[in-house]
Structure 1
Amino acid sequence: MDANLSRGEAPAGGSAYAPAFLDALVGAGLLVPTGVQGLYGRSAVFEAVGDGLNGAITALGADQLAEVLRFPPAMGQRDFETSEYLQSFPQLAGTIHSFCGDERGHRRLLARLQDGEDWTDQQQPSGVVLTPAACYPIYPVMARRGPLPEAGKVVDVLSYCFRHEPSLEPTRMQLFRQREYVCLGSPERIVAFRQLWMERGQQLARALQLPLEVDVANDPFFGRGGKIVADSQREQKLKFELLIPVNDGAPPTACMSFNYHMDHFGALWDIRQADGGVAHTGCVGFGIERLVLALLRHHGLDPARWPSGVRATLGSA
């Protein structure tokens, strides 16, 4: 139960949709292929739009009095294990391994490289895992601080995140940015927070003149057991997504998500409310790359020619 933006999932092995939009983005120099599906460089123009989006999101959340935290796109293995991400999404996780051997091991590694053989078994876990969702690093931090303030807590967090989902869909990147506001506190506080941001998310999308719909959703839990969890998540309406058409011939893509985790993370990390009760949590997640791509899809590949209202919202009028 995290800030996964799940709609528009690609089938195993890649995308079923023609990559015409991807070809156009690459041809315009907005995305730079690396030879790996879902791993791209970004141009200055692409980054400028992303910066404008982040500015608009900051303005939208100015009244939240949020603590701003920024983490690298990795977290400790122990905290990752505590999150139970592997129990729910093993197919998406990415771990960082490094060479830890001696000179003999290094010679063995070099020999395998020279012979074109697999060398990855010469590496060992580093104790560091790629961050799967921007909110994950904040929960152990909040737990170590002790009980939350009486009114709860809001945190503004931004991070590159990793999901192992190779695809030709430009919206399904393996490394991408999530901007989140995360709320910790009482159930009532979280429900009100999520409703507020569902309204504000739609407000932002309309200011950007993007077609949208909001629908109940579920995270991509793994396996047959995961389907039961996903069905329960939908039945309880714990997750909603703001969907925008982006990919060629594909269902609309989740560009924002609005999540109520109940006491899941509070119980895992023993995060306490001021009265000693287990904290509930919720978050709103903005997919920065997906929103940039939605703007490029609907307004054209040259932001200088976008409608004045859209440019004003992005601070580029």
Structure 2
Amino acid sequence: MKKQYQVVEELSQSQVEAITSRLIYSLEGISHCCFYPETKQIEIDIVDKSKEKHIDQVIQTMIEEQKSIRPFPKRIIRKTDGDITKVQADEEKIVAEFSELIRKESAVILYDALQRLFTKYAISKQARARIYSSLILRQTLEKCQYVKNFPQNLYVVAEFPHEYEVLNNVSQTDNYEEYIRCSEYLLSPALCFHCYEEYSNQTLHEPLLLSTEGVCFRHEAPWRLGKHRLHNFRMREFVFMGDESFVEETRSFFLDLIWILFVNLGFRGYIETAHDPFYFPHHAGKSQYQLMAHMKYELIISTDIGNFSIASFNNVKDTLCKEFSITGSNGSILHSGCVAFGIDRWVYALLAVYGTQLQEWPTYIKEILDI
């Protein structure tokens, strides 16, 4: 059942978009949620009609909450000449190669090409290589307030206690949920937190640059999954710590480098100021500060089937080093930043634009693969 909700006139488009992005993570029993600026309506597909009244209440509550939050617009800092990247590939062929549960053949080859490229970048900058676990201690994410700020993203790991009676009960029932307990681990939503945990309570006598790659997990609404949006995905991150100038210079270096790659691959899009996906309205000040201070940039590919982010460039100043007590030689808290690439999103973008046939791929990719 489709239902439209009229947005009050005093809310700006950016405020309504903020409401919509939160609604996606706030309502179960729906299969679609979108804002249409031309009609100033939020449209929701309600799957479970028994939840309609509850959904109405949640939307009205969020609208009232958003009225008190002053919007701060994003700014485009770099843009390609062309506005749209034309998608030419057959959707069925892409799905056959690239899906939530399996990536195969051409997708795997593209993944290999991108890994070679990012490894080349890491070696050129003499970055220290790391591979971290897909599990991360809860106390690590609690230390940096991730659980309180972004609960909508997290997967909690459950386990059966190693107790004779419990394990026997589990083997004899199909309703084993009552025997599950939370583990001390979560599935890692990002790689950079492992880096901070590794160097926590340490003094660094020289700037640090790490290169790490691994699998990350984000809890997404089932109806949003597919194409570039996945539950689990491979991430490459460059994490750097040092003084204020080192962090900003390193971020700028990677931003320029990746922009050249983006253009060479024939992509069209832009880099804009952004903020982390804080869930609660009382964190709106943090979002506004990140936008105003240009702490986060996102690289957006624009296509004729939608836009999506494929990289982010972050300067978090001293916020995370402070939480993990990472200092410099003079005893002051260091600054830090990271550059993150959703490798699967790059792979999906290449497949969507150029298809699954190797001979149709950009010369830049063929050269990386020595073809």
Identify the range of structure 1 (279-288 vs 119-128) with the bigger mean alpha-carbon deviation.
Answer: 119-128
Equivalences for residues 82-231 of structure 1 within 5 A: 82-100=143-161, 102-113=163-174, 117=175, 119-144=176-201, 146-150=202-206, 152-166=207-221, 167-231=224-288
Deviations 1:211-264 (A, max 9, x none): 231111111101212333212211111000111135x743x1110100011111
Give the CA deviation at 1:107: 4.5
- Seen in structure 2, the aligned counterparts of structure 1 residues 311 and 165 have a Cα distance that, compared at 3 Å, is same
| Distance of 2:32 and 2:110 partners within structure 1 | 26
1:25 matched to which residue of 2? 94
Please tell me whether the aligned partners of residues 233 and 344 of structure 2 are also in contact (alpha carbons under 8 angstroms).
yes
| Distance of 1:304 and 1:121 partners within structure 2 | 54
Q: Does 1:48 align with 2:135?
A: no
| Distance of 1:41 and 1:16 partners within structure 2 | 27
Give the CA deviation at 1:50: 0.8
2:363 matched to which residue of 1? 308
1:78 matched to which residue of 2? 139
**Aligned counterpart in structure 1 of residue 352 of structure 2, from 297, 301, 304:** 297
| Code of the aligned partner of 2:333 | V
TM-score, reference length from structure 2: 0.73
- Seen in structure 2, the aligned counterparts of structure 1 residues 205 and 93 have a Cα distance that, compared at 3 Å, is same
2:335 matched to which residue of 1? 280
SS at match of 1:42: coil
Q: Does 1:260 align with 2:327?
A: no
Please tell me whether the aligned partners of residues 221 and 230 of structure 1 are also in contact (alpha carbons under 8 angstroms).
yes
Structure 2 unmatched runs, 5+:
1-19, 35-88
Give the CA deviation at 1:57: 1.6
Structure 1 unmatched runs, 5+:
1-7, 33-38
Superposed CA RMSD: 2.4
Q: Does 1:235 align with 2:292?
A: yes
Following TM superposition, the consecutive aligned residue runs of length 4 or more in structure 1 with deviations greater than 6 angstroms are none
| Distance of 2:365 and 2:167 partners within structure 1 | 55
Give the CA deviation at 1:23: 4.3
| Distance of 2:178 and 2:359 partners within structure 1 | 49
| Distance of 2:311 and 2:239 partners within structure 1 | 13
Count, aligned residues? 291
Q: Give identity over the alignment, percent.
A: 23
Larger Rg belongs to: 2
- Seen in structure 2, the aligned counterparts of structure 1 residues 170 and 15 have a Cα distance that, compared at 3 Å, is farther
TM-score, reference length from structure 1: 0.84
| Distance of 1:134 and 1:49 partners within structure 2 | 21
Please tell me whether the aligned partners of residues 207 and 310 of structure 1 are also in contact (alpha carbons under 8 angstroms).
no
| Distance of 2:90 and 2:31 partners within structure 1 | 16
